Amino acid sequence: MEENKMKILFAAAECAPFFKTGGLGDVVGALPQSLHQRGHQVAVIVPFFSGIKAEYRAQVKNLFNFTVTVGWRQQYCGVKTLQRQGVDYYFIDNQYYFKRPKLYGYYDDGERFAFFLTSSC
């Protein structure tokens, strides 16, 4: 399997068991685990929502930070990490965009997730 081993990165808005609203979170939680069990190197990048479960929040480590240009302003972007069951998880941190009671349903969702994807690159 070594010659067929792939490096796979998922970028998604939600991921179980950290936070989810429905099916997307379930799939992004399960598929990377399944691929890892098949011998692939897998990582997942998601926003660092304030609603992350406390047990995982305590395990997250800060990696680095930088600024991202969003329109006419500079936004802080922190990158955090956690390894769980062989999968590397990376979290994009910005309280302005992700410290909210819900994952979705805000007037600026387009800007929030444009920031997330830009930061992920």
Q: What residue ranges define each of the domains in the chain, with the CATH number in brackets?
A: 2-112 (3.40.50.2000)
CB neighbour class for 95 (10 Å; exposed up to 12, middle 13-18, buried from 19): exposed
Supply the pLDDT for residue 2. 62
pLDDT tens string, the chain, 121 residues long: the values are 467 899 999 999 999 999 999 899 999 999 999 999 999 999 999 999 999 999 999 999 999 999 999 999 999 999 999 999 999 999 999 999 999 999 999 999 999 999 999 999 8
Residue 67's H or E segment, with its range, is: strand 61-70
Q: Which two tokens stand for residue 27?
A: 């799939």
1-32 pLDDT, tens digit each: 467 899 999 999 999 999 999 899 999 999 99
Percent residues over pLDDT 70 in the chain: 98
